[in-house]
Structure 1
Amino acid sequence: MRKISILAAALVVSASVLAQRTPEKIIDKSLITEKLTHLGKDVMTPERLWELGRVSAEGLSADGKQVIYGVSQYSFGENKSEKKLFVAPISGGEATPFLQESGGSVIEIAENGDVIYLLKGQLWSKNLHGGEAKKLTDVEGGLENVKLSPDKKQILFSRSMLVKSYHSKDKYADLDKSDVYVYDDLDYRHWDSFNDGRFNHPFVASYDNGKIGEAIDLLKDEPYYSPQAPFGGAEDFTWSPDGKAVLYVCKKKFGKDYAVSTNTDIYRYDLDSKTTTNLTEGMNGYDTNPTYSPKGNHLAWLSMKTDGYEADKNDIIVFDKASSRRLNLTAHWDGTVNGFTWSKDGRKLYFTAPVRGTVQLFAVEIPSNFAQNSQPKVAQLSEGQFDIGGIVGEVDGGLIVTSTTMTRAAEIYKYDFQRKALLSITGVNDAAYERIAETKVEGRFTKASDGADLFSWVIYPPDFDPKKKYPTLLFCQGGPQSATTLGYSYRWNFQLMASQGYIVILPNRRGMPGWGVKWNEDISKDWGGQAIRDYLSAIDDLAKESYVDKERIGAVGASYGGYSVFMLAGVHEGRFKTFISHCGLFDMTSWYGTTEELFFANYDLGGPYWDKKNSKTYTDFNPIKHIDKWNTPIMVIQGGKDFRVPIGQGLAAFQAAQLKNIKSRLVYLPEENHWVLSGHNAQVWQREFFGWLKETL
């Protein structure tokens, strides 16, 4: 075993911290560690976590000297968040409020400083340099995912359209008090909603200083989604540089075909001829995020090769208008792209990607001659113990980005090319963190069971003393092809867990991006194999340390991580004293029959349970088949509106544990989906989580 400690490259430049309104305190002060302090500092608690301002970048001024950002503050009293917009100088200095009202989202910023923003479904305008806000539109039903044409004379937006009469009220007008859904095909529900026959469509209309003309439905009443359901947004739309066409992302499939495919394409709709062209014909996986270069001579997008494989390598494709050729810029690079943006001169693309337990900045040059079909060099720009969450845009000497660490929520920084460092622009939560005790984060390598190097992040309690013994948690990541990096979560928050006195280990087991494409792919059709052995290798190695209390080790996780907990409960051979599984897959046979995105199940499991070639998935790698060896306390958490891992999975696991007389608890959240979105529900989740650990560990 060898340890590593990666030093952060972040160089903090002084910047005034904008005073934020402190949210109302919840009345009940019964949290386990509310009164605990370390060396005069408070420890992180669930309440303090939700009091933090959540920072989101909204856009850059045309001169690159100011950034608009949002800060969402949660109100315990109202159980909701409000987002306010602020403006901060890139060079450092005091941030100022931009809007008095809450909820605005920036659409674009003009060269004269006019900011077009969406508020309560309508377009508004206000200048960065002052003046009153002006309401531009008053559209019945409101607007969504707005993009204005380059000359500002046309508008592109989305709207939900009733295309199929699945709901009885739409099918039988005289039975308006009925509530029945009738289906003849799949895709009858997705994520947390049943399909009511309404599909998001892109629309184009003339635009004259807020007046919108007759809108044209680009999908012409077809049962297709654009933006993509359920999480697609304005990034699925763009205008051609000349304003004569619009591009949109769509998976033009329906029913079973839709449920088993990831083949989204990028379509071009010509406004004059009213014709549609598929720009990615023959490209069979996800094609998303179409973005023109500043000069309009290149079009870039993200692309995956394999239909049905949602975690395939994500590459950047560029189409060159002059040669009518397209080139995969990252085909030769052993990684997968998160997101990208064009440089101001259009000569390169900046992108983010997971690498070795972090998410960093990269750049790739655009070749001068597409006819040569060259493979441009990919260069890593940043390095350090932090994640780059996203790129806002390029300014003189660097990039404006959002960044997190495992112990700091997102803030906005300038990544300085020359100094190779992050320079702080916002410090919304600096004052809060000054009062919170630090939790050390350290990298660690272990030899996996097959001899491979296995990396883990380890988080230690405040004032960690290696002479003492600490209870320890193995965190099992979901996905299963999701990276465990230095992101900051408001539920699975490792600073919070460590602050309650636990050591937490987060292995970068098989299936996680950032360690090469093969490592990422190795988990597919092997869910219960090497990835589970990686977890055991990581915890066994850490347990050799004198400061780990070997009698007090637990395993926790959600989604595939919840599946991992269920699997470990049957194969751990006494390693763990307690388990917590959130929305975990318990019976792979019933899960295949009830989950909605069948492309995921078909690719990662190998296919249906009635196909004998997949027998290992439904026997050896099926947690329910190991229930005879369950003998350890387990808490099961389940969302009632989770259609990715439906309610029967959690209920079956809890019922099995109860019937085997194993100490167990069910935490049922009837209004939550695969996540926990309500602040009050999240507080209950945290209290039950830590309460269970206190009881059983």
Structure 2
Amino acid sequence: MKQIALLALVVMLLGACAAPQKADKEATFTNRDLKVDSEIMTPEVLWSFGRVGSVALSPDGKTVAFTISYTKIEENKTYSDIYTMPAEGGDYKQITFTKGGEFDVNWRPDGAKITYMSAASGDVQLWEMNPDGTQNQQVTKVDGGIEGYKYSPTMDKIAFAKSVKLDKTVHDIYPDLKYADARIEDDLMYRHWDHWVDPTYSHIFYIDYANGATTGSATDIMEGERYHSPLKPFGGMEQVTFTTDGKSIAYTCKKKTGMESAFSTNSDIYVYDIKAASTKNLTEGMMGYDIAPTYSPDGKYLAWESMARDGYEADQNRLFMMDLATGEKKDYTADFDQNVHGLTWTPDSKHIYFTSEDKGSNEIFRFDLADNSISQITEGIHNYNSVAIAANGLIATQTSMKHPTEIISVNAETGEGTNISKVNEPLLGQLKMGDVEKRWIKTTDNKEMLAWVIYPPNFDKNKKYPALLYCGGGPQSMVSQFWSLRWNFQMMAANDYIIVAPNRRGLPGFGQEWNEQISGDYGGQNMKDYFSAIDAVSKELFVDENRLGAVGASYGGFSVYWLAGNHNKRFKAFISHCGIFNFEQMYSTTEEMFFVDWDYKGNYWDTDNKTAMRSYANSPHKFVKNWDTPMLVIHGAKDFRIPYTQGMGAFNVAKMRGVPARFLYFPEENHWVLSCHNGILWQREFFRWLDTYLK
């Protein structure tokens, strides 16, 4: 249920891509000159921010190529173009002007070309252009298009991902029934995230490359295998890489199918030898997720992200490394009680930079290979979401509750960061943001819990404000300094609400014990943590304790349903987006079975399993007899992680019990809301409901 930014999301947001062309400012769209009428945020303003997407540093570390996407609200369409700027800072320059957009921007290993993906030719293909945006040239011409790409360091080959058909459809089995509309399923994993699984599998191919063009035919290094690489639904080409000499390809794959795949997180790192056409599993016997292999520039080591336990998708994400000369594998984060994300080698192969959740923010850390030490580089009220090695320091992307993603130059020694992109400064300069406060709250078991408190832009301590308890999703996703088009705390605060966003039990960034406590304890200590947070803040003189609401999505949506039956009159309004209402139905109908099996600690028919039985006893539908508070239920039809019937069940029960309720249903949305007009509608209904019952 974790929400991750991915290639699939980028494609959906961009829509159809147009052909690369000469500069034509009429062909694209930006909001850089937008003037707003008020200093207070509105949904329309929220959707007008520029969204920094792909960020790629040139091989010499001196130039940044990146995309910015702008939404033209009246068209319900997003335009994305490529920009460049010096890594040391300075004005950025737009170098593409297209009706659709480009994505997955990078640099050719020699730095002579910017590379990107575009559907200009009809299918998504790889393109190159000069760093100034001239001489756009299509590189691949793969039937059906590609899903990702990577150049070999030696620049004689390109690896790419492509879907290949290996299974039969109803029409293949019964060719005479050309108007039949049906599916025949014999095993699990027949649908995933937001789509029914089709007869194709994402495979890794390689093809020869020279002078801006591919030559010969492509080779499928997974020929005939009914597995996906990159991993579905969210994996990208960070899960695929060439060896430093370009002679082999390392890739991530979970070589399991059907029910075995549905209950397992056991992916491995495989290496395909191009000359021998042979494959070796480097992580055999390592039972959890093993993903994102990356070779040291000197070719001596392979590093990757690894989890220890099969079936546990929120296990500690460790830095594992193999000495390629000896084959020795080692966990270099055994004494680091946090996760690692986005491993990035320094050119001298002496250090690895990565990001990690750390007490309510995402920070940059550095691993030193000489003494196996880890040091924290940055600290502050922000999220660093990626990091790259520049000629002088680091280039990172950063968000906070006060601003969308920007590109930051970071001093690698002091950790000081400077916003060098300033994409949204013109719009942010016209708005007034609310203050964000870091507050530590005592829990019922005498622990210290971090809660973010966000204040209205024109906060007056002498007024009484309604307050909203934000219930986080994941469930094991830290409530950090994120920026969202829906769960945007500044948007909520702009509507004159105090926001209380606690990092309750079951979140990373506070040690693995804090993170793991939630498994097998849904409805337990983490719910007490919610009460501790809202009870503490509601005692403030500026909070009206008679006008409290609770809102959340995914696990947060479940939390709202559970609170509705157990809150003892604390709240006057609830909003649940894509929440779990009935644990037994959830266990039986979600697609990745490993998640609920681990977190509930078993199935609902194993009555001898006391922990599992406690989980199912805490299903929100068991407490509907206590429901008496107005509730807005939101769900998308294409949400296969938490099927939309969960939301329908909650809404129907509320109406049958005579509780004021409304059902906001999106036929074309999944676990998220991706469309601009749907997103604005979401915001309008969100605040219409809250204002009705809290103001």
- Between the aligned partners of 2:350 and 2:29, the Cα distance in structure 1 is 40
Distance of aligned partners of 1:287 and 1:276 in 2 relative to their CA distance in 1, 3 Å threshold: same
After superposition, the C-alpha distances for 1:344-364 in whole angstroms (9 at most, x for unaligned) are 211011110011110101111
- Between the aligned partners of 2:41 and 2:687, the Cα distance in structure 1 is 13
1:78 shift after superposition: 2.3
Tell me if the contact between 2:62 and 2:391 (Cα under 8 Å) persists in the aligned partners.
no
- Is structure 2 residue 267 aligned with structure 1 residue 268? no
- Is structure 2 residue 667 aligned with structure 1 residue 670? yes
After superposition, the C-alpha distances for 1:102-121 in whole angstroms (9 at most, x for unaligned) are 22432433435322322222
- Is structure 2 residue 538 aligned with structure 1 residue 543? yes
**Where does structure 1 lack aligned partners over 5 or more consecutive residues?**
1-17, 26-33, 369-375
1:147-166 equivalences under 5 Å are: 147-165=150-168
Alignment correspondent of 2:378: 382
Q: What is the SS of the residue equivalent to 1:571?
A: coil
Alignment correspondent of 1:119: 118
TM-score (norm 1): 0.92
Q: What is the SS of the residue equivalent to 2:591?
A: coil
- Between the aligned partners of 1:63 and 1:200, the Cα distance in structure 2 is 32
- Is structure 2 residue 551 aligned with structure 1 residue 556? yes
After superposition, the C-alpha distances for 1:356-403 in whole angstroms (9 at most, x for unaligned) are 1101011111147xxxxxxx2211111111110111x11244210000
1:514-663 equivalences under 5 Å are: 514-612=509-607, 613=609, 614-663=611-660
Tell me if the contact between 1:353 and 1:514 (Cα under 8 Å) persists in the aligned partners.
yes
After superposition, the C-alpha distances for 1:77-113 in whole angstroms (9 at most, x for unaligned) are 2212121110111222211112233224324334353
Tell me if the contact between 2:454 and 2:498 (Cα under 8 Å) persists in the aligned partners.
yes
After superposition, the C-alpha distances for 1:11-64 in whole angstroms (9 at most, x for unaligned) are xxxxxxx99822999xxxxxxxx97x4xxxx10111000000001243112222
Alignment correspondent of 2:297: 294
- Between the aligned partners of 2:499 and 2:294, the Cα distance in structure 1 is 40
- Between the aligned partners of 2:317 and 2:114, the Cα distance in structure 1 is 33
Distance of aligned partners of 1:131 and 1:630 in 2 relative to their CA distance in 1, 3 Å threshold: closer
Compare 335-344 and 169-178 and name the one that shifted more: 169-178
Q: What is the SS of the residue equivalent to 1:602?
A: helix
| Matched AA of 2:201 | F
Distance of aligned partners of 1:683 and 1:297 in 2 relative to their CA distance in 1, 3 Å threshold: same
Q: What is the SS of the residue equivalent to 1:404?
A: strand
- Between the aligned partners of 2:331 and 2:195, the Cα distance in structure 1 is 36
Q: What is the SS of the residue equivalent to 2:551?
A: strand
Q: What is the SS of the residue equivalent to 1:202?
A: strand
- Between the aligned partners of 2:342 and 2:114, the Cα distance in structure 1 is 24
- Is structure 2 residue 461 aligned with structure 1 residue 466? yes
Distance of aligned partners of 1:342 and 1:632 in 2 relative to their CA distance in 1, 3 Å threshold: same
Compare 180-189 and 134-143 and name the one that shifted more: 134-143
| Matched AA of 1:61 | S
Tell me if the contact between 1:161 and 1:221 (Cα under 8 Å) persists in the aligned partners.
no
**Where does structure 2 lack aligned partners over 5 or more consecutive residues?**
1-24
Alignment correspondent of 1:426: 421
1:242 shift after superposition: 1.6
1:73-222 equivalences under 5 Å are: 73-101=70-98, 102-120=101-119, 121-129=124-132, 131-165=134-168, 167-209=169-211, 210-222=213-225
Tell me if the contact between 1:238 and 1:290 (Cα under 8 Å) persists in the aligned partners.
yes
Q: What is the SS of the residue equivalent to 1:579?
A: strand
Q: What is the SS of the residue equivalent to 2:217?
A: coil
| Matched AA of 2:276 | S
| Matched AA of 1:150 | P
After superposition, the C-alpha distances for 1:124-173 in whole angstroms (9 at most, x for unaligned) are 222225642233333332222111222222221111111122x3223322
Alignment correspondent of 1:30: none
- Between the aligned partners of 1:527 and 1:350, the Cα distance in structure 2 is 35
Alignment correspondent of 1:330: 333
Tell me if the contact between 1:62 and 1:113 (Cα under 8 Å) persists in the aligned partners.
no
Distance of aligned partners of 1:211 and 1:605 in 2 relative to their CA distance in 1, 3 Å threshold: same
Tell me if the contact between 1:320 and 1:326 (Cα under 8 Å) persists in the aligned partners.
yes
Tell me if the contact between 2:61 and 2:390 (Cα under 8 Å) persists in the aligned partners.
yes
| Matched AA of 1:109 | R
Alignment correspondent of 1:7: none
- Between the aligned partners of 2:511 and 2:214, the Cα distance in structure 1 is 51
Q: What is the SS of the residue equivalent to 2:562?
A: helix
Q: What is the SS of the residue equivalent to 2:337?
A: coil
TM-score (norm 2): 0.92
1:232 shift after superposition: 1.1
Tell me if the contact between 2:602 and 2:612 (Cα under 8 Å) persists in the aligned partners.
no
| Matched AA of 1:331 | A
- Is structure 2 residue 479 aligned with structure 1 residue 484? yes
- Between the aligned partners of 2:33 and 2:132, the Cα distance in structure 1 is 32
Considering only aligned residues, what root-mean-square deviation do their CA atoms show, in Å?
1.8
- Between the aligned partners of 1:601 and 1:212, the Cα distance in structure 2 is 47
Tell me if the contact between 2:467 and 2:548 (Cα under 8 Å) persists in the aligned partners.
yes
Q: What is the SS of the residue equivalent to 1:525?
A: coil
After superposition, the C-alpha distances for 1:197-236 in whole angstroms (9 at most, x for unaligned) are 2111111222344133222222222211111111111111
| Matched AA of 2:624 | I
Alignment correspondent of 2:389: 394
- Between the aligned partners of 1:211 and 1:359, the Cα distance in structure 2 is 40
Compare 172-181 and 481-490 and name the one that shifted more: 172-181
Distance of aligned partners of 1:152 and 1:110 in 2 relative to their CA distance in 1, 3 Å threshold: closer
Tell me if the contact between 1:59 and 1:109 (Cα under 8 Å) persists in the aligned partners.
no
Compare 501-510 and 328-337 and name the one that shifted more: 328-337
Aligned pairs, number: 658
Distance of aligned partners of 1:211 and 1:323 in 2 relative to their CA distance in 1, 3 Å threshold: closer
- Between the aligned partners of 1:169 and 1:681, the Cα distance in structure 2 is 35
- Between the aligned partners of 2:135 and 2:635, the Cα distance in structure 1 is 47
Tell me if the contact between 1:467 and 1:547 (Cα under 8 Å) persists in the aligned partners.
yes
Q: Among the aligned pairs, what percent are the same residue?
A: 43
Tell me if the contact between 1:64 and 1:396 (Cα under 8 Å) persists in the aligned partners.
yes
- Is structure 2 residue 260 aligned with structure 1 residue 257? yes
- Is structure 2 residue 31 aligned with structure 1 residue 22? yes
Alignment correspondent of 1:239: 242
Choose between structure 1 and 2 for higher RCO, CA contacts under 8 A separated by at least 6 residues. Answer: 1
1:620 shift after superposition: 3.2
Tell me if the contact between 2:109 and 2:151 (Cα under 8 Å) persists in the aligned partners.
no
Compare 525-534 and 101-110 and name the one that shifted more: 101-110
Compare 88-97 and 284-293 and name the one that shifted more: 88-97
Tell me if the contact between 1:59 and 1:68 (Cα under 8 Å) persists in the aligned partners.
yes
- Is structure 2 residue 490 aligned with structure 1 residue 495? yes
Q: What is the SS of the residue equivalent to 1:87?
A: strand
- Between the aligned partners of 2:330 and 2:163, the Cα distance in structure 1 is 35
Alignment correspondent of 1:339: 342
Query: Stretches of 4+ moved more than 4 A in 1?
Result: none
Q: What is the SS of the residue equivalent to 1:616?
A: helix
Distance of aligned partners of 1:528 and 1:130 in 2 relative to their CA distance in 1, 3 Å threshold: closer
Alignment correspondent of 1:309: 312
Q: What is the SS of the residue equivalent to 2:561?
A: helix
- Between the aligned partners of 1:617 and 1:185, the Cα distance in structure 2 is 29
- Between the aligned partners of 1:533 and 1:432, the Cα distance in structure 2 is 40
Q: What is the SS of the residue equivalent to 1:557?
A: strand
After superposition, the C-alpha distances for 1:273-300 in whole angstroms (9 at most, x for unaligned) are 2111000001000000000111111110
Tell me if the contact between 1:583 and 1:650 (Cα under 8 Å) persists in the aligned partners.
yes
- Between the aligned partners of 1:348 and 1:200, the Cα distance in structure 2 is 33
Tell me if the contact between 1:352 and 1:361 (Cα under 8 Å) persists in the aligned partners.
yes
- Is structure 2 residue 51 aligned with structure 1 residue 54? yes
Compare 342-351 and 568-577 and name the one that shifted more: 342-351
| Matched AA of 1:351 | F
